[in-house]
Structure 1
Amino acid sequence: MSTLKPEVSSKDHIEGSDAASITIVEYGDYQCPHCAHAYPIIKEIEQTFGDQIRFVFRHFPLQESHEFAFQAALAAEAAALQDKFWEMHDAIYDNQYRLSEDLFQELAETIGLDIEQFEKDIQTDAVKQKVEDDFESGVRSGVNGTPSFYVNETKFDGGPEDLFEMLKESAE
């Protein structure tokens, strides 16, 4: 059974309460159609279970198959430096069908980032390193495709619908 390495920490992007009884970690790729399919289901899980859920997103860009995946992850990390990680995360998935080189700056403007700062940050080693660290942690955790989910640090075998179903059953 694969477990999450390293554990969730302050370096992660976390939505939800620290007191949540369930932590879901997703390793995702912003250009992956399966991740785009999972995205609204994760939102629904968060709405349904509220404070019981803490959601963490880690980057796992599959660069061989998705030419904009790494760039999208960099854009999300650059937005994070202006405290807008989740806004960029959501905007990228909402616009996945039109991913391109030019899209990230447009989204940065849409979510109200300081564009000059964003353009500087997206090129820094620190931003690149964060994406590479997430990817590396995915490899160490046994991720073999996206999206991959970990529930309370244990790999969940199944898609987002299965995850939702399992959470509903355990809540009953």
Structure 2
Amino acid sequence: MNATVNPLLVPDPATDHILGPADARVTLIEYGDFECPSCAQAAPAVKIMRDHFGRQVRFVFRHFPLREVHPHAELAAEAAEAAGAQGKFWPFHDLLFAHQHRLGEAHLRDHAQQVGLDMARYENEMRDHVYLQRVQEQMQVADQLRVRATPSFYLNGAFVDVSFGLAHLQQAIEQALAKG
């Protein structure tokens, strides 16, 4: 990755959810919201791109719940972090987007059971809001980056506008890979 990349856009394996190798030629960071309809629409397309580009792309998901318009998004992000602590972030991520209209506490608990979480641990961590600070820290970084909408994507540190569709994102990945 380019040495001039904003340090806020350098993935941190200790706090970020990352798919793909650290030495991938392209790093794609998504700021997303589990209750955002556009994020739910983007999720399958992003998965197709991840599969298509394989180990050439490292994909990072960060939370940016838009609390004002999506009342369940922050709690869903906390639940995803709880799942991540048990090594199940990605299955939980996919389940949340597949069942986006089922993000209340009881639904999140059902999703946690479905992905096989240790339920006593999950319930304790959710009750104590163990992961709220991590979610809020990712939101603060997004604010520093001036993220305004979800999904927002950064490719090798540069913002990629997907407001007119995800085809632009795929083209940006292809161009970055062609540059070598």
Equivalences for 1:1-172 in 2 at 5 Å?
3=6, 5-10=8-13, 11-158=15-162, 159-171=165-177
Deviation string 1:47-67 (CA, Å, 9 cap, x unpaired) is 000000100000000011001
Instruction: Give the Cα separation in 1 of the matches to 2:16 and 2:138.
Output: 9
Instruction: Give the Cα separation in 2 of the matches to 1:115 and 1:125.
Output: 15
Instruction: Give the Cα separation in 1 of the matches to 2:7 and 2:141.
Output: 8
Counterpart code for 1:5 = L
Deviation string 1:15-73 (CA, Å, 9 cap, x unpaired) is 11111100000000000000001100110110000000100000000011001101100
**Normalising by the residue count of structure 2, what TM-score does the alignment of the two structures yield?**
0.88
Q: How many residues are matched?
A: 171
Higher RCO structure, 1 or 2 (CA under 8 Å, sep 6+)? 1
- Cα displacement (A) at 1:114: 0.6
Q: Any conservation in 2 of the 1:61–1:69 contact (CA below 8 Å)?
A: yes
In the alignment, structure 2 segments of 5+ residues that lack a partner are none
Runs of 4+ in 1 over 2 A off after TM superposition: 97-101, 123-126, 158-161, 165-172
Q: Any conservation in 2 of the 1:88–1:108 contact (CA below 8 Å)?
A: yes
- Cα displacement (A) at 1:81: 1.2
Instruction: Give the Cα separation in 1 of the matches to 2:123 and 2:20.
Output: 29
Structure 1 residues 56-65 or 88-97, which shifts more? 88-97
